[in-house]
Structure 1
């Protein structure tokens, strides 16, 4: 059971309902947790979003010459032989493409914005067949400058798919589990 919400005070600033306690687990009795949504978080002089960094989490970005194609709603929206592969702890490989290799005329800027503590603030684009089908990090955090201005497609399914080296890729799984592209 969650105990009463608490306000957090810092100098002359107040954030209501930004801290609370719980007696659901005996180990947590007497402890307080804080909201990532209502408070600004800083590690030294750098703002942190969503959650604190884990020292066991890595994000590596490597250039590649694999051919990557992205199809959405029957349209080929991207074709690149110069993707950047993003390897992130516990997640499948993700492919980021230069915007010059993306048919931006088929995408419309969305109002959706998300934050990742390891990459930064993402802006989204929609296709008539799939909303929020792609994103990019216009200004990624300093540790991941290689993804600046690149485009990543987010969805795979009946209206969209990827191919890498001619093989279909399920964007939520490893490319090694893909197969020939749909016909």
Structure 2
């Protein structure tokens, strides 16, 4: 799977984990130079507290377009050290 925005590959992996329709990419397969830490956090009852990244390419920022669970609940432990994308990011084979 690949995650792209503005024709730039943000992540590429054959080892994504599909959860609720979202592909979670292993951190090792994500180009973190395009990610900016965000102060945004949300809560999922079964996964835990999500933290977010914004994406920055060529000076343009896509706010809170990637998320991860730094300390996922036990039911979601398989997505520890993984990042998912949304908001205008294309995730495709």
Q: Verify same fold: TM over 0.5.
A: yes
Over residues 117-160 of structure 1, what are the superposed CA-to-partner deviations in whole Å (9 max), with x where a residue is unaligned? 0110001001123111100001111121101121000223xxx3
The alignment covers a number of residue pairs equal to: 89
Which residue matches 1:77? 10
Which residue matches 2:92? 163
Q: Which has the larger Rg?
A: 1
Structure 1 portions without partners, runs of 5+: 1-67, 88-92, 165-183
Alpha-carbon distance, 1:83 to partner: 0.6
The correspondence of residues 120-139 of structure 1 with structure 2, limited to 5 A, is: 120-128=48-56, 129-139=61-71
SS of alignment partner, residue 144 of structure 1: helix
**Bigger fraction of residues in helix:** 2
Runs of 4+ in 1 over 2 A off after TM superposition: none
Alpha-carbon distance, 1:73 to partner: 2.5
Q: Distance in 1 between matches of 2:5 and 2:15?
A: 20
Q: Distance in 2 between matches of 1:115 and 1:74?
A: 31
Residue 106 of structure 1 pairs with residue 34 of structure 2: yes
What TM-score do you get using the length of structure 1 for normalisation? 0.47
Residue 151 of structure 1 pairs with residue 80 of structure 2: no
Root-mean-square deviation (Å): 1.2
Alpha-carbon distance, 1:161 to partner: 1.2
For CA contacts below 8 A with separation 6 or more, give which structure has more relative contact order: 2
